[in-house]
């Protein structure tokens, strides 16, 4: 890769360029480019159907894109201490906005998840996800490195607070996503197997409780097990789109699923990709998501800093699981959730929150010459809690 920065450049951007994972950045930009293409393919038909300007959604998506890149690159410049401080500020603001949302938020489809400022809608819970993953990793690592510090108790308390706020909206899907990420971090931090089983039982019990207490959850699960029902319309049209697309697709602009699916530009944009660009495009999208996740894990587990390992693991599980949930529900492999496909589906809050999360991954996995020896000198421990 050609660059104007030399390896001896000691400026902020020079050091950033030679320590950042440029291959991961390239993969993220490729996903964003695919999202832009699919926004142009899927959103005009949706906008016209609801009486908006033809390129209403596409224009808003393109307005957000520069901010997404700026936020991601700005966060990636932070050092590890800066990432923790930024996460605390982001988490505090997001929780306050979530509380405000419950009091004066906008109700959409029976859920109150949005607040409106200066004509822009914001979903505060999206920004809780990356910031909470960082704070939980911080608390778990402090608990392992300082035996008298009750970090896991702090992490448990924050987790219960976040889940309670999500269930009050209600947003059961995001509560499950946050729970899985938190559970993975707790497990990697050295959770005893007895507690692993106990938490697993609690999660399963919580799933049954959600089914019987939230009508929209019950409806989605029932539709999944009864695909012949009239309420499973979107999923059936989605599967039909994949069949029509075949290997190479019907061609840009030639698909029909976007004309009948209300969420073709958002939750079901993967179906538009399958119909218009075929199996080739869908496999490329899956491959890029897989590359980002595996590349991030490979760099994280070269680290000896337990905080970095837990934080990056949480953020990448969050990113990858969100993509899996969206694609699997589009293919009728699991009940629909209403979760966006990262960096591809329409949604400003989701894209900005994802930019923060991956910016943190890039920041935490930057190469730091001499960091390993310094960590050993401080008595660091590995993932199993053993002194290095």
Q: Residues 157-175: what's their mean pLDDT?
A: 90
Q: How far apart are CA 236 and CA 68, in angstroms?
A: 33
pLDDT grade for 110, boundaries at 50, 70 and 90: low
**Residue 12 domain-assigned?**
no
- Residue whose C-alpha is closest to residue 71's, from 10, 12, 130, 114: 130
Length of the chain (residues): 388
**Residue 10 domain-assigned?**
no
pLDDT grade for 223, boundaries at 50, 70 and 90: low
Least confident of 26-30, 368-372, 383-387: 383-387
Cα angle 222, 340, 187 (rounded to 5 degrees) comes to 80
Secondary structure of 295-340 in HEC code, one letter for each residue: HHHHHHCCCCCHHHHHHHHHHHHHHHHHHHHHHHHHCCCCCCCCCC
| pLDDT single digits (tens) 113-152 | 888 876 678 899 999 999 999 999 999 999 888 767 888 8
Contacts (Cβ under 8 Å, ≥6 apart) of 122: 97, 114, 115, 116, 348, 349
Secondary structure of 54-69 in HEC code, one letter for each residue: CCHHHHHHHHHHHHHH
Cis before residue 170, ω within 30 degrees of 0? Answer: yes
Instruction: Return the percentage of the chain with pLDDT > 90, whole number.
Output: 46
Q: Residues 216-238: what's their mean pLDDT?
A: 65
| pLDDT single digits (tens) 78-102 | 999 999 999 999 999 999 999 999 8
**Residue 380 domain-assigned?**
no
Domain count, the chain: 1
pLDDT of 384 reads: 45
**Residue 348 domain-assigned?**
yes
**Residue 293 domain-assigned?**
yes
Q: Residues 20-37: what's their mean pLDDT?
A: 95
Full residue range of the structural domain in which residue 348 is found: 19-365
Q: Quote the pTM value.
A: 0.86
**Residue 381 domain-assigned?**
no
User: Which tokens sit at 335?
Assistant: 């009940």
| pLDDT single digits (tens) 318-342 | 999 999 999 998 888 887 777 889 9
pLDDT of 232 reads: 66
User: What average pLDDT is seen over the chain?
Assistant: 84
**Residue 45 domain-assigned?**
yes
**Residue 373 domain-assigned?**
no
Strand partners, 115: 122
Contact 357, 128 (CB under 8 A): no
| pLDDT single digits (tens) 252-290 | 888 888 888 878 888 899 999 999 999 999 999 999 999
Q: How far apart are CA 306 and CA 383, in angstroms?
A: 6
């Amino acid at each position: 890769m050609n660059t104007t920065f030399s390896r001896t450049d000691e400026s902020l951007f020079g050091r950033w360029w030679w320590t950042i994972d440029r291959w991961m950045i390239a993969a993220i930009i490729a996903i964003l480019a695919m999202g832009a293409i699919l926004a142009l393919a899927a959103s005009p038909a949706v906008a016209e159907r609801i009486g908006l300007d033809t390129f209403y959604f596409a224009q808003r998506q393109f307005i957000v894109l520069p901010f997404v890149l700026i936020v991601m690159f700005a966060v990636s410049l932070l050092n590890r201490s800066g990432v923790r401080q930024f996460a605390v500020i982001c988490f505090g603001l997001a929780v306050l906005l979530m509380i405000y949302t419950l009091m004066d938020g906008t109700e959409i489809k029976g859920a109150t998840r949005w607040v409106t400022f200066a004509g822009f809608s914001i979903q505060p819970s999206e920004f809780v996800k990356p910031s909470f993953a960082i704070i939980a990793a911080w608390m778990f690592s402090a608990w392992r490195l300082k035996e008298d510090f009750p970090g896991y108790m702090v992490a448990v308390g924050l987790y219960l607070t976040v889940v309670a706020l999500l269930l009050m909206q209600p947003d059961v899907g995001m509560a499950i996503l946050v729970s899985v990420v938190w559970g993975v971090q707790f497990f990697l931090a050295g959770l005893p197997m007895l507690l692993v089983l106990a938490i697993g039982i609690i999660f399963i019990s919580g799933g049954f409780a959600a089914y019987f207490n939230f009508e929209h959850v019950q409806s989605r699960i029932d539709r999944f097990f009864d695909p012949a029902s009239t309420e499973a319309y979107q999923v059936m049209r989605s599967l039909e789109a994949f069949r029509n697309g075949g290997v190479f697709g019907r061609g840009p602009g030639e698909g029909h699923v976007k004309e009948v699916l209300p969420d073709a530009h958002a939750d079901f944009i993967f179906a538009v990709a399958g119909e218009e660009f075929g199996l080739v495009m869908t496999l490329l999208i899956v491959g890029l998501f897989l590359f980002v996740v595996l590349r991030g894990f490979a760099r994280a587990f070269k680290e000896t800093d337990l905080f970095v390992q837990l934080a990056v693991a949480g953020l990448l599980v969050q990113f990858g699981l969100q993509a899996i949930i969206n694609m699997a529900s589009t293919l009728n492999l699991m009940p629909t959730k209403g979760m966006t496909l990262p960096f591809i589906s329409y949604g400003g809050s989701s894209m900005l929150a994802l930019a923060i999360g991956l910016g943190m991954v890039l920041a935490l996995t930057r190469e730091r010459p001499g960091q390993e020896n310094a960590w050993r000198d401080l008595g660091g421990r590995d993932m199993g809690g053993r002194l290095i």
